[in-house]
Structure 1
């Protein structure tokens, strides 16, 4: 171990205190990392005084584990607070100069290591931490679970029973339904983070060998759902950590279906944040041993490949991937899919592939009709249970028509999209509206386009 000098810096003092407590309890960095939901590498880096910006919520988790009475949280401003504030200011300054459009980032084929050590998900950031009222949670979860997850520190059982696994699965289903109807922001963020913290803690409890695969699969499923809410709320670092944690759990459970779903989300997120090459790599990793996946899951991953190629403006590769996705979906048998794949129906497939074709129309001047027809199918096929997907497809259809078709028709569809997005807490849906507004601004002489742009501006501050 590196010998620390507690007087050398506030970071080394913080790290020395952490190491002393951990070693006194004969606890490994890996075990501690799981308890506070960060990687063992992060724990070791903090102990060495080498981690640049430990989050305050991690300091609080350390206090909870070691029962320090708030030692680490009190020391956090001295050790890391100024650095965290500096980073936020730099990020804010950077954001001021950015436009609403996300630039395409094309990399030179970087291979993501298959043996990289994924970090565990952190708990909710300070600004998301709040006391959730029982009445709010009861709207999405059974009352027993609502009471459990309003406690500040839900108790971790000493031994796992089937009822604990059922709780994790029920909460995942409830959060997924809320997310699809209303988006990933707002109240749902606090519920998801707290549920993730408790569920990850279950992995440290004594568990019969026969239940271990079910437990890891349930936690993986919850991780996918919580990661999706974080992605939708633009908590991208948290989302990526949570997705990778979910992939870890899926591997431990030996569940190829959950593994495929985690890589599908990692691919979609990478494409969204402007890293399509990474998105393509994640999608390809998800397709490893595709013979073990259902046709629906194969379609989902080929769609992710198409979206990556589309964002890079590669027409031939995009069309080929869309064709592979269509072929796989044509073979789909819903009875073969896990229950949580039921969302991927004809409407979802149409909307997802339309996104790839949209990018071809905008970036590579390809035929916009293909994307428009698929977006229209998605809009008419999504039920109220998937309001966010319907709103996003409607917004993208309006944007496509505004850029490549009839601006007046686009404005009419855009107002309908605004009506729906206004009831969501989805940052993705709002950013799509901003893009629609930028396209509308290119038609200054068309009254309908101007009216739509002004309404978007008043609603989402284009």
Structure 2
């Protein structure tokens, strides 16, 4: 006689809470337990036991699950917060659950899943509302995967249902914050304000929402998540950026928003390349280009440029040059009226700068690329005052390329111009670029202009 199926109760113990997260992300990616097991080299029954808290999960397996499910590292983060391994946490099912979550408390955002109880592929059940709002133990009340974003005590009163005006407010916040990010950089007040807005948007995902509004709600959350992830990336909060980008990508997929999805994967590619993980960067760029016939020409140019930067950083010169050519061909067909509003930044100056950055990497690696400096110069001249950070990136790279090419006097002139704007930003990426320029200037310390630039950089950014 078959045994009755076991319900998932994430409130029972940390291990149950972890198992509910594994199931949540497996269902987000629409994988069976067997299919997920194949991806991480364990049996489907092992996945089932982890989900039902019948066996522990070690950190290596959690990392493999994160990679297979593209969570941005959430499962490994959660396991570490529980004490490295789920089996080390309190998991006695006979112990009473911790205090109930306070009204309005948030657990993990219910991305791509309804809040009703549903049956899974192994016949067991999970109560979505319990999963989303209860932690089960006091220690986990404030340490869910987005605890750095979601702090219930700071939330204002929520509406009882999602309204159109709530979605419009999220969209407006994303637009304002994106402008601040471009103008001031992602650190400081910009990142703080962005996180507060995302806490609110995440809360709305758990409220009742009509079918006609649901796609718009998830699309607005995806766009806001994209902006918050960009601020985290610029501030070098890379783990936070990975988690938020994963959240944003899942929301975009739930909303069937291919244009948002493309932009988010472009950001993910750029972050991976920045961190030196060129293979992952290339993978994200290619994921963004899936069904590229659904994208605008500008979006294709953006993603081919991301691909070029990954290939250039990896040292694959011919493939990088080919990707730059594909980006140029796509951008030549751009029709700004066809682009979604968040793509308005990608104009001729941005395209010149982004392709110039890819060619810069080739030039700094020793490959001849005469057009790298020309493109960077065009970007500097074309960026308006609405995009000072982008102008700084291109100007600093132009100064660095000029310094490396043997004209330290001219490089110093360009470098001082870049430093004038860096001092006004809260951008760790801009600071890192400036530090690289200072190191190159140090190799020309016998030249007064280069030495003066190095000293000013050292004083300004405290290298």
TM over 0.5: yes
Query: For residues 449 and 278 of structure 2, what CA distance do their matches in structure 1 show?
Result: 34
Query: Cα 1:28–1:155, aligned 2, differ >3 Å: closer, same or farther?
Result: farther
Q: Structure 2 length normalisation: TM-score?
A: 0.73
Query: For residues 419 and 52 of structure 1, what CA distance do their matches in structure 2 show?
Result: 54
- In the TM superposition, what is the alpha-carbon distance from 1:38 to its structure 2 partner? 9.5
1:123 aligned residue (120, 124, 148): 148
Query: Cα 1:46–1:152, aligned 2, differ >3 Å: closer, same or farther?
Result: closer
* C-alpha distance after superposition, 1:129-181 (max 9, x if no partner): 9xxxxxxxxxxxxxxxxxxx9x8212232211100100100110011000000
1:171 aligned residue (159, 170, 173): 173
Aligned to 1:146: none
Q: What does 1:54-453 align with in structure 2 at a 5 Å threshold? A: 64-65=105-106, 71-72=138-139, 121-124=146-149, 152-367=154-369, 369-453=370-454
Greater shift, 452-461 or 256-265, is seen at 452-461
State the SS of the aligned residue for 2:425.
coil
Checking the alignment, whether the CA contact within 8 Å between 2:15 and 2:86 is kept in structure 1 is: no
Structure 2 residue 85 is matched with structure 1 residue 50: yes
Checking the alignment, whether the CA contact within 8 Å between 1:375 and 1:397 is kept in structure 2 is: yes
Query: For residues 318 and 155 of structure 1, what CA distance do their matches in structure 2 show?
Result: 51
Query: Cα 1:288–1:206, aligned 2, differ >3 Å: closer, same or farther?
Result: same
More helix by share: 1
- In the TM superposition, what is the alpha-carbon distance from 1:50 to its structure 2 partner? 2.0
State the SS of the aligned residue for 1:210.
coil
- In the TM superposition, what is the alpha-carbon distance from 1:384 to its structure 2 partner? 1.1
Aligned to 2:126: none
- Consecutive unaligned residues in structure 1, runs of 5 or more: 1-13, 77-118, 130-148
- In the TM superposition, what is the alpha-carbon distance from 1:19 to its structure 2 partner? 7.1
Query: Cα 1:363–1:15, aligned 2, differ >3 Å: closer, same or farther?
Result: farther
Checking the alignment, whether the CA contact within 8 Å between 1:311 and 1:356 is kept in structure 2 is: yes
Checking the alignment, whether the CA contact within 8 Å between 2:73 and 2:242 is kept in structure 1 is: no
- In the TM superposition, what is the alpha-carbon distance from 1:16 to its structure 2 partner? 5.9
Query: Cα 1:313–1:19, aligned 2, differ >3 Å: closer, same or farther?
Result: closer
* C-alpha distance after superposition, 1:71-118 (max 9, x if no partner): 438998xxxxxxxxxxxxxxxxxxxxxxxxxxxxxxxxxxxxxxxxxx
Query: Cα 1:407–1:28, aligned 2, differ >3 Å: closer, same or farther?
Result: closer
Query: Cα 1:349–1:16, aligned 2, differ >3 Å: closer, same or farther?
Result: same
- In the TM superposition, what is the alpha-carbon distance from 1:357 to its structure 2 partner? 0.3
- Consecutive unaligned residues in structure 2, runs of 5 or more: 1-9, 29-71, 90-97, 107-132
- In the TM superposition, what is the alpha-carbon distance from 1:437 to its structure 2 partner? 0.4
RMSD: 3.7
- In the TM superposition, what is the alpha-carbon distance from 1:28 to its structure 2 partner? 11
State the SS of the aligned residue for 2:386.
helix
- In the TM superposition, what is the alpha-carbon distance from 1:122 to its structure 2 partner? 4.7
Query: For residues 450 and 21 of structure 2, what CA distance do their matches in structure 1 show?
Result: 62
State the SS of the aligned residue for 2:308.
helix
Query: Cα 1:334–1:187, aligned 2, differ >3 Å: closer, same or farther?
Result: same
Query: For residues 75 and 176 of structure 1, what CA distance do their matches in structure 2 show?
Result: 28
- In the TM superposition, what is the alpha-carbon distance from 1:364 to its structure 2 partner? 3.0
Query: For residues 305 and 320 of structure 2, what CA distance do their matches in structure 1 show?
Result: 9
Checking the alignment, whether the CA contact within 8 Å between 1:38 and 1:122 is kept in structure 2 is: no
- In the TM superposition, what is the alpha-carbon distance from 1:250 to its structure 2 partner? 0.7
Query: For residues 179 and 164 of structure 1, what CA distance do their matches in structure 2 show?
Result: 22
Checking the alignment, whether the CA contact within 8 Å between 1:440 and 1:452 is kept in structure 2 is: yes
Query: Cα 1:446–1:21, aligned 2, differ >3 Å: closer, same or farther?
Result: closer
Query: For residues 381 and 155 of structure 1, what CA distance do their matches in structure 2 show?
Result: 45
Q: Structure 1 length normalisation: TM-score?
A: 0.73
Query: For residues 326 and 345 of structure 1, what CA distance do their matches in structure 2 show?
Result: 12
- In the TM superposition, what is the alpha-carbon distance from 1:243 to its structure 2 partner? 0.9
Aligned to 2:47: none
State the SS of the aligned residue for 2:213.
helix
Query: For residues 252 and 74 of structure 2, what CA distance do their matches in structure 1 show?
Result: 17
Query: For residues 202 and 181 of structure 2, what CA distance do their matches in structure 1 show?
Result: 21
Aligned to 1:101: none
* C-alpha distance after superposition, 1:1-34 (max 9, x if no partner): xxxxxxxxxxxxx9965579999xx999849xx9
Query: For residues 209 and 175 of structure 1, what CA distance do their matches in structure 2 show?
Result: 28
Query: For residues 14 and 310 of structure 2, what CA distance do their matches in structure 1 show?
Result: 42
State the SS of the aligned residue for 1:234.
coil
